[in-house]
């Protein structure tokens, strides 16, 4: 009897799902290689790529290997890379002075990459955590109980100018200090770098998902823990409306692109930001998001290829125009 049962339906949604070609025709969201930004880690003196134990398939690269990687990414159509240095601990100080050294690691890396692949967009991080002994994103107050906002911003402005001099396309302040976007824009313009853009980490949350990244750049080792709290300057994960306010402040101060970080657990924030402004919106699929997908796949609990694609599709569907992801190269090969 059941096999003869027929519904009298005018509309059947499954008609549009019957074949791959039909599904492609009506897909509302498309993930493109051009949407991806590859974060890369650079280190001095490594004879071969050094895999980060908490981030399978991600390596700290010497400058020659970094250049090769950038050439490969460019050939795949990935438009941009974001560079993060892992410094020798001997170069770290409480004030992070190495960040202003014109021959510091990341600036040498920028010059090498731009010389070898001038068409590739290069983004550099503006924050002091790779350079400080305490692992915070800025210099500490006299009482050593918080980050000194204004003093830190003064250093970040100098840091951004140094990066512009080295040839970067975008500086990306990730420190979450108040007023830093406007101050950096003014410093860049006064130094004649009006063409260097700012990608602001506008809604960067005090997230538990950053642990593997802190291993990668050595800020966890410097601080003595990957669990370092940055709650006095990064956003409270409980807050939603505040993210839109932070974004609008950064846009008024001169940000060219705004960012939400992390991405996967903050899809509602990405959508709010997308609805609130017309500027390009980036989202950072952070190290912990990458690591947990890999860990579950290693245990056989998830399909790695499908999950990494779905995770990025969700970020794009939420409203991100650009996605920083450690999956960039693998996704680009698949697309």
Per the CB < 8 A criterion, the answer to whether 236 and 257 are in contact is: no
151-207: pLDDT as tens digits: 999 999 999 999 999 999 999 999 999 999 999 999 999 999 999 999 999 999 999
Q: How confident is the model at residue 238 (pLDDT cuts 50, 70, 90)?
A: very high
Per the CB < 8 A criterion, the answer to whether 36 and 78 are in contact is: yes
Residue 29 has a CB neighbour count (10 Å cut-off) of 11
Catalytic residue among 86, 261, 316, 329: 261
Predicted TM-score (pTM) above 0.85: yes
Burial track 230-261 (b if 16+ CB lie within 10 A, e otherwise): beebbbebeeeeebbebbbbbbebbbbbbbbb
Strand partners for 80: 37, 121
CATH 3.20.20.70 fits domain 30-334: yes
Q: Kindly give, in sequence order, each residue whose CB lies less than 8 Å from that of residue 118, ignoring residues fewer than 6 positions away.
A: none
Asked if residue 220 has pLDDT above 70, the reply is no
Asked if residue 242 has pLDDT above 60, the reply is yes
| Nearest partner of 138 among 170, 76, 94, 202, judged by Cα | 94
Asked if residue 39 has pLDDT above 80, the reply is yes
The pLDDT of residue 229 is 86
The pLDDT of residue 47 is 79
The pLDDT of residue 247 is 98
Residue 26 has a CB neighbour count (10 Å cut-off) of 8
The pLDDT of residue 221 is 58
The pLDDT of residue 228 is 75
Per the CB < 8 A criterion, the answer to whether 117 and 74 are in contact is: yes
Catalytic residue among 114, 204, 230, 316: 204
The pLDDT of residue 218 is 82
Strand partners for 41: 60, 84
How far lies 123's CA from each of 164, 293, 299, in Å?
10, 26, 35
The pLDDT of residue 222 is 52
261 catalytically annotated: yes
Asked if residue 223 has pLDDT above 90, the reply is no
Domain edges within the chain: 30-334
Per the CB < 8 A criterion, the answer to whether 141 and 148 are in contact is: yes
């Amino acid at each position: 009897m059941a096999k003869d049962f027929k519904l009298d339906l005018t509309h059947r949604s499954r008609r549009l799902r019957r074949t791959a070609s039909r599904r492609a025709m009506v897909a509302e969201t498309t993930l493109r290689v051009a949407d991806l930004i590859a974060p890369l880690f650079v280190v001095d003196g490594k004879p071969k790529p050094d895999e980060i134990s908490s981030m399978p398939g991600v390596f700290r690269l010497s400058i020659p290997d970094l250049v090769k990687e950038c050439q490969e990414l460019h050939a795949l159509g990935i438009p941009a890379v974001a560079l993060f240095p892992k410094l020798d601990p001997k170069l770290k100080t409480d004030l992070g002075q190495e960040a202003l050294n014109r021959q510091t690691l990341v600036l040498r890396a920028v010059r090498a990459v731009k010389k070898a692949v001038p068409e590739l967009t290069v983004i550099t991080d503006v924050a002091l955590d790779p350079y400080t002994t305490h692992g915070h994103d800025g210099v500490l107050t006299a009482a050593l109980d918080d980050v000194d906002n204004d003093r830190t911003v003064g250093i970040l402005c100098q840091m951004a100018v140094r990066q512009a001099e080295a040839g970067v396309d975008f500086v990306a302040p990730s420190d979450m200090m108040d007023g830093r976007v406007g101050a950096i824009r003014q410093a860049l313009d006064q130094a004649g770098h009006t063409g260097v853009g700012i990608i602001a980490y506008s809604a960067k949350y005090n997230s538990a998902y950053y642990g593997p990244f802190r291993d990668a750049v050595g800020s966890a080792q410097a601080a003595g823990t990957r669990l370092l709290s940055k709650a006095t300057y990064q956003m409270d994960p409980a807050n939603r409306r505040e993210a839109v306010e932070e974004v609008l402040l950064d846009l008024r101060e001169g940000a060219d692109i705004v960012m939400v970080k992390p991405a996967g657990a903050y899809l509602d924030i990405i959508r709010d930001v997308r609805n609130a402004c017309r500027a390009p919106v980036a989202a950072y699929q952070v190290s912990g998001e990458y690591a947990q997908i890999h860990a579950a796949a290693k245990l056989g609990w998830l399909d790695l290829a499908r999950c990494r694609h779905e995770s990025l599709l969700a970020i794009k569907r939420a409203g991100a125009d650009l996605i920083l992801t450690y999956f960039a190269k693998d996704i680009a090969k698949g697309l």
